[in-house]
Chains A and B, each alone.
Chain A
Amino acid sequence: DGGITQSPKYLFRKEGQNVTLSCEQNLNHDAMYWYRQDPGQGLRLIYYSQIVNDFQKGDIAEGYSVSREKKESFPLTVTSAQKNPTAFYLCASSMAVANYGYTFGSGTRLTVV
């Protein structure tokens, strides 16, 4: 079955450490996205990528970095520069055509202590 996989589901890190969240899809989707969600709030776009080896900053890119070396993979690194990294992180993918919605992964809950 095709889908989008995020790992791990829960992640704990010490303040000041970089951490990388994994996102893999086998849907042959061109575009991939990273969102952050804080309690009781909507999704805010961190980074997105429309094609391999290209990505764009979203609304809250500061303190984050990404790469898109393969179509299937779009890892997100939360760096020590991110002031409030504790959040629920969602990865999504979509076809490039306009009337397709997003398929979401199950999310990674990151807690920085």
Chain B
Amino acid sequence: GQNIDQPTEMTATEGAIVQINCTYQTSGFNGLFWYQQHAGEAPTFLSYNVLDGLEEKGRFSSFLSRSKGYSYLLLKELQMKDSASYLCAVRAPRQLTFGSGTQLTVLP
């Protein structure tokens, strides 16, 4: 089976940088995804990692270490609209299994 762990809640200040960690245990790893979900809405795709290393996309970056079963999502220059739940999801082998999500609150 799959096991995905991420912190339940995090708080940060507008303009700051925050790192959301995700650890996973799985067989047949086939990529890791990060999604953003605002309350009552559908998740939206943020990033995808299948090889080790850092993927940067604007204010968002995602890192993967397959040997450690570890990923993080880095959000820079935080804005109030970044307050949302961030879901880590592992594809193994074809379906995505989601973590419980990290609720990020950005304070002024």
Question: B83 to nearest A CB, angstroms?
Answer: 15
Q: Which residues of the partner chain A approach B42 to less than 8 Å between Cβ atoms?
A: 90, 104-107
Docked CA distance A39–B85 (Å) = 11
- Shortest distance in angstroms between B88's beta carbon and chain A's nearest beta carbon? 9
Alpha-carbon distance A92/B92, docked complex (angstroms):
17
Please, which residues of chain B bring their CB within 8 A of the CB of A106?
41-42
A12 contacts chain B at the CB level, 8 A cutoff? no
Which residues of chain B from 19 to 54 have any CB-CB distance to chain A below 8 Å in the complex?
30-31, 33, 35, 40-45, 48, 50
| B96 contacts A by Cβ under 8 Å | yes
CB nearest neighbor in B for A103: B45
Interface size class of B (residues with CB under 8 A): 20 to 34
Q: Are A50 and B94 in contact (CB under 8 A)?
A: yes
A102 touches B100 (CB 8 A): no
- Distance, CA A111 to CA B42, complexed state (A): 18
Which residues of the other chain, A, contact B66 by a CB distance below 8 angstroms? none
A45 touching B97, Cβ below 8 Å: yes
B31–A33 touching, CB < 8 Å? no
Considering the chains assembled together, what is the distance between the CA atoms of A54 and B100 in angstroms?
28
Asked if residues B95 and A42 are in contact (CB atoms below 8 Å), the reply is: no
- Tell me if B91 counts as interface (CB < 8 A to partner A): yes
B47 → A minimal CB distance (Å): 9
Say yes or no: is A8 at the interface (Cβ < 8 Å to chain B).
Answer: no
Residues of chain B touching chain A, judged by Cβ–Cβ distance below 8 Å, are 30-31, 33, 35, 40-45, 48, 50, 87, 89, 91, 93-101, 103
- 20 other contacts beyond A104-B42, A104-B44, with CB at 8 A cut-off? A31-B94, A33-B95, A40-B103, A41-B100, A41-B101, A42-B100, A45-B95, A58-B95, A88-B40, A90-B43, A98-B31, A98-B91, A98-B93, A98-B94, A99-B48, A102-B43, A103-B45, A106-B41, A107-B40, A107-B42
